[in-house]
Amino acid sequence: MIPRSEAVIPQVLAWRALRALSKHFEVEELLGLLARNGVHVSRAELKRYIAGATLPPQLKAVHVIQALKAEDVFGFVVKSKVRVDEDGVINIVELAHDEDVLSIAMAEAYLSFFRGVDVVLTAAVNGVPVASLLAWVLDARLAVARRERESQSMKYLSAQIFHPDPPSVVHLYLPASQVPRGSRVLIADDLLRTGRTLRALLNLAYEADAHPVGVFAVISLTNAWRSVITEDMRALILYNMAHAPSSPPI
């Protein structure tokens, strides 16, 4: 197996984030954004970064990601891709597989959770793309809870999700071996609303004697789920519709 090069991770993340943002902002706007946060690059240099012709040096790459996060442009990009149909349904499946959204998610997670997570835990199915990439970025194990057991001989952890309308109970099953005892767990999902799925995933982590350290989601519709997490857990949401930016931050 080829050894993992940690130095390359922020370089790739900075390139992907800049490429995603270049679809929404002009080069001059991005240059100004970076400069306001102490990152000085030439116009030609930035264009090479966006194209992937040259990757920024490791430390500069980290500073680029930090500058982009400081300006809150990531949430604006996700907001621009949200579509709500006549029935009030959000295009979450499309967002959960969108290359730009996933690029932004990896950059955000790197700054907040790098070297602080052992397991990224999610529920099938829409949370799997973002959770898989977060696990790669954070050099963590991926654990996916499903609605059915895949083996009768395997030991599973289980949790319930109660849906009040109409009344129903959904079970989530997770192979016990996927979350080692004492591991630091990041809960990842595409959408947060009531917190019922989040509570079930947290219960799986607790049953494994693991330590949930944070929650990562692409979109939050409300803040109701916040009552589920503890004060020592960090919550990172790409776009919170309850506190939505109305215009570009540049």
- Residues 174-187 have a mean pLDDT of 97
- Residues 2-27 have a mean pLDDT of 91
How confident is residue 6, by pLDDT bands cut at 50, 70 and 90?
confident
Tens of pLDDT, residue by residue over 35-91, are 999 999 999 999 999 999 999 999 999 999 999 999 989 999 999 999 999 988 999
Token duo for residue 108: 């955000």
Model's pTM, two decimal places? 0.94
Question: Among 45-54, 77-86, 192-201, 238-247, whose mean pLDDT is lowest?
Answer: 238-247
pLDDT of 201 higher than 80: yes
Q: How many other CB atoms are found less than 10 A from the CB of residue 22? A: 18
Number of helices (H) and strands (E), helices first, in the chain? 9, 7
The residues, ordered by sequence, that sit 6+ positions from 218 with a Cβ below 8 Å of its Cβ are: 78, 92, 95, 96, 101, 105, 130, 189, 190, 191, 237, 238, 239
**What secondary structure letter does DSSP report for 100?**
H
- Residues 196-218 have a mean pLDDT of 97
CATH code of domain 74-243? 3.40.50.2020
Alpha carbon 140 to chain centroid, angstroms: 14
Tens of pLDDT, residue by residue over 117-132, are 999 999 998 999 999 9
| Whole-number pLDDT of residue 164 | 83
| Whole-number pLDDT of residue 1 | 47
Token duo for residue 3: 């050894």
| Whole-number pLDDT of residue 49 | 98
